[in-house]
Amino acid sequence: MTSVGSKLQMDLGSSSEVLDGCYDPYTAEVQELIDEHPGMFYLMDPASVLAVRQLDLGGRLRIWDMCAAPGGKTLLMLENKEPETYVLATDMSRPRVERLKQVIHQYFAPLSEHPEVSVRSADAVNWGYRNQEKYDAILLDAPCSSERHVMGDPKAMSNWKPNRAKTLPKRQYALLCSAALACERGGQILYSTCSINPDENDSVIARYLKKKTDLVVRPLAPSVGKPTEHGTLVLPHECEGWGPMYFALLEKVEGT
Ligand SMILES: C[S@@+](CC[C@H](N)C(=O)[O-])C[C@H]1O[C@@H](n2cnc3c(N)ncnc32)[C@H](O)[C@@H]1O
The per-residue pLDDT for range 6-32, each reduced to its tens digit, is 555 566 666 778 888 788 888 888 888
Ligand 1, atom nearest to 127 Cα: 20
Look at 221 and 1; give whichever has higher pLDDT: 221
Model confidence at 76, in pLDDT bands (50, 70, 90)? Answer: very high
The set of protein residues with a Cβ atom below 6 angstroms from ligand 1 is 66-73, 90-93, 96, 123-125, 141, 143
How many angstroms does the Cα of residue 23 sit away from the middle of ligand 1?
A: 25
Set out the domains of the chain in order of their start, with CATH numbers. Answer: 1-44 (no CATH), 45-252 (3.40.50.150)
In whole numbers, what is the pLDDT of the chain averaged over residues? 91
* Span 156-194, pLDDT tens digits: 777 777 777 789 999 999 999 999 999 999 999 999 999
* Span 125-141, pLDDT tens digits: 999 999 999 999 999 99
Orientation of helix 94-107 relative to helix 72-80, angle to 10°: 40
Task: Lowest mean pLDDT of 28-32, 208-212, 241-245, name the range.
Answer: 28-32
Q: According to the model, what pLDDT value does residue 100 have?
A: 98
How many angstroms does the Cα of residue 119 sit away from the middle of ligand 1?
A: 13
Q: Which of 141, 254, 117, 120 is CA-nearest to residue 189?
A: 141
**Catalytic entry in 22, 67, 144, 194:** 194
Average pLDDT over residues 223-234: 96
How many angstroms does the Cα of residue 59 sit away from the middle of ligand 1?
A: 26
Host H or E run for residue 250: strand 245-252
The answer, yes or no, to whether residue 145 has pLDDT greater than 80, is yes
Ligand 1, atom nearest to 143 Cα: 10
Known active-site residue 22: no
This prediction has a pTM of 0.94
Pocket test for ligand 1, best of 42, 67, 150, 177 (most atoms within 8 A of CB): 67
Model confidence at 1, in pLDDT bands (50, 70, 90)? Answer: very low
How many angstroms does the Cα of residue 205 sit away from the middle of ligand 1?
A: 18
Euclidean distance between CA atoms 214 and 22, whole angstroms: 35
Look at 21 and 216; give whichever has higher pLDDT: 216
Euclidean distance between CA atoms 117 and 58, whole angstroms: 17
